[in-house]
Chains A and B, each alone.
Chain A
Amino acid sequence: MARMSIAEALRQAIREEMRRDERVFCIGEDIGIEGGFGGAFTVTLGLSDEFGHERILDTPVSETAIAGVAIGAALAGMRPIADVQYGDFLFCMMDQLANQAAKLRYMSGGQVSVPLVMRAPVGATARGAQHAQSLEAFFCHIPGLKVVAPATAYDAKGLLKSAVRDDNPVIVFEHKLLYGSKGPRSERGALSPIGEVPEEEYLVPIGQGIVRREGKDVTIVAKLLMMYRALAAADILAEQGIEAEVIDPRTLVPLDKELILASVRKTGRLVIAEEDNLTGGWAAEIAAIVADEAFIWLDAPIKRVSAPDVPPPFAPLLEREYVPNEEKIVAAVLSLF
């Protein structure tokens, strides 16, 4: 087992997939420039040395073109891994993702497919309102897109490799505080988990969640940064005699619904933690599924711990209030007992 950061795991996944399959290429801004950063968070650093600038393709500042070109190339037999510097910029290419990538297969009667990977960093990191949003729910809402959100190095590598091999468009959400980017691209206050990654080839299948901590009293569903905060909350709760089960869905579409339902049937209580805004969010969808399909197993109301319905703020003090933390998750759990 090698130990590495998520940025390193993602880079290794890209390198292996590009070596395995010559159809795979990367397209994005500042991803292969000599003397550049290797993307906003160093994931593609050094890859152009091995693969050249035709396969690590730097674009102008043109997000619509990044998505559109990736879609066109995917339609014509390539396997693009596209990248935006900040997830917020996905809105610039929203037509391409929502109207084109997601729908071309369906509306063509199955004639075409769009094997596109779209990588996007999310999470609030003291950059203000336009480099901070957690956009997962938007994309979960669009039929035709798969959505993954790896929180560990093992999952980052295994899920990205699965995404590259998937015949459908897959949006990969990565969290800025989890990358472990180094040098000038390191993040203040980052969690940067180092994880074990096997030397040998492996995949993490799209559509499988994982129980990160077992418990019998309450289920906490959380992804990306919130998964770590849920684990921290579980430690605090354990000191108070409450055993929380923490579930990391890893894939958001298609959702491993059974894993969550099985846990709720065991614990009878559900808290969902997310960094996205509350209204119409991903946590609301999880709550609705459980209310629909496991209502009789619930001993208490379902609680959501989400960012409030305000844009991400700049001031670190305000941001700490905006992003849910372990104290808020603990409080939500305690309110159920």
Chain B
Amino acid sequence: MTQADTSLSPGTEAAELPDPERLLHMYRTMVLIRRHEERVNELYLQGKIPSTLHLYIGQEAVATGVCANLRPDDTVLSTHRPHGHALAKGMEPRKLIAELFARATGCCRAKGGSMHVGDVSVGMLPAIAIVGANVPIAAGVALAAKMQKTDRVAVCFFGDGAANEGAWHEGLNVAAIWDLPVIFVCENNLYAASTPVSLAFKIENIADRAAGYGMPGVVVDGNDVLAVYRASRQAIERARRGGGPTLIECKTYRLCGHSRSDPRTYRSREEEAEWQKRDPIPRFRQWLLAEQRFTAEQLDKVDQEVEETIEEAIAIASSSPEPQVAELYTGVFKDLS
């Protein structure tokens, strides 16, 4: 990445930029994801949230930039690190946080947990925590959109690790041969858990694999929300027109551990400091201010609203009931109890 750390989307034509309302919504989404992840991590460390958490801190520009181009009837398929995708697709924080609290009011009635959050009413399928398994399923969702003669699209998020799964290969191939309306978004955060991409790939760019399937491959700065927005906009519009799938590789970085209690001893503090300078949220905020799109007061107001939204969601979640024990036995089949 050669560009200056604080610059954003160099060379973007004004016409390619989101309108002011959407720009502010994107800023709000990124702050919402960041503060959500920071707060639930605190609650987790306090023992108020069971299980494990895979946080999205540092990658907010990817989910935000892509989902800013989606309609409610488009579908997002997510991973074991799904909170950012869920919020960017429009899930209410109160449903998400209640799920993390394992409460009956959670989006999956406390049967999913952090790695399976979803809300089909906003087009967020329950997240799939088997790496790469969501790729052929995304192709299937896109096949349905095509068979039903709609212009809906499916977006499949995954990490660099998924690109070495067999399911990934099979899913991209069928999406390409059938010209399916699906956008594969690789969030290359440089590590699959602790394994660096240099040990897992012989190639520089995962997007280069797109050529092997006969689809466009695009590399973007995944910490530049406007670059992600622009690249995904092109791919999504192309998919809606029947032009088939695209593989977009967003180069990004987890500004946190892989999951709970990850001491991050497999990477250097210097490397982390370098990526901290490219933190997508300050970059976007500085761009919004420098371009005089919004004033600091306007953005501070958004920050404050986000705080209130999250604290309210936490209060609701923590006072919500746990599921009834009888719930264990229900919902395996649609017709049988």
Contact = CB atoms under 8 A, between A and B. Distances in A.
A80 B141 CA distance: 12
Nearest to B119: A111
Contacts of B331: 105-106, 109-110
A183 interface: no
A55 B142 CA distance: 15
B140 A68 contact: yes
A61 B40 CA distance: 43
Interface in B106-158: 106-113, 116, 118-120, 125-126, 128, 130, 133, 135-145, 147-148, 154
B116 A107 contact: yes
Contacts of A67: 136
A166 interface: yes
A167 B167 CA distance: 25
A111 B174 contact: no
Contact of A25 (B108, B147, B171): B147
B17 interface: no
B143 A106 contact: no
A59 B111 CA distance: 34
B335 interface: yes
Contacts of A25: 147
A68 B171 contact: yes
Nearest to A108: B126
A108 B173 contact: no
Given A64-B166, A64-B170, A100 B139 contact: no
Nearest to B180: A69
Interface in B150-186: 154, 166-167, 170-171, 173-174, 177
Contact of A100 (B128, B145, B177, B333): B128
A62 B173 contact: yes
Contacts of A143: 332
Contacts of B135: 68
Contacts of A72: 136-144, 154
A168 B43 CA distance: 37
B135 to A, nearest CB: 7
A105 B116 CA distance: 11
B75 interface: yes
Contacts of B106: 109
Contact of A104 (B126, B144, B171, B173): B126
A104 to B, nearest CB: 6
B149 to A, nearest CB: 11
Contact of A71 (B108, B137, B148): B137
B336 interface: yes
A171 interface: no
Interface in A127-179: 143-144, 146, 166-168
Contact of B133 (A59, A100, A108): A100
A105 B108 contact: no
Interface string A94-121: 0110011000111111111100000000
A105 B112 contact: no
B139 to A, nearest CB: 5
A198 interface: no
Contact of B136 (A64, A105, A111, A146): A64
Contacts of A104: 126
- Shortest 10 CB-CB distances between A and B: which pairs? A72-B140, A68-B136, A109-B109, A76-B144, A65-B170, A109-B108, A69-B140, A108-B126, A72-B137, A167-B334
Given A73-B140, A110-B331, 14 more contacts: A64-B170, A65-B136, A65-B174, A68-B137, A69-B143, A69-B171, A78-B144, A104-B126, A108-B116, A108-B126, A109-B106, A109-B110, A144-B332, A167-B335
27 contacts: A60-B173, A62-B170, A65-B136, A65-B173, A67-B136, A68-B167, A68-B171, A69-B139, A69-B174, A71-B137, A72-B136, A72-B138, A77-B148, A80-B140, A95-B167, A96-B133, A100-B137, A105-B332, A105-B334, A106-B332, A108-B111, A108-B112, A108-B116, A109-B331, A112-B126, A113-B334, A166-B335
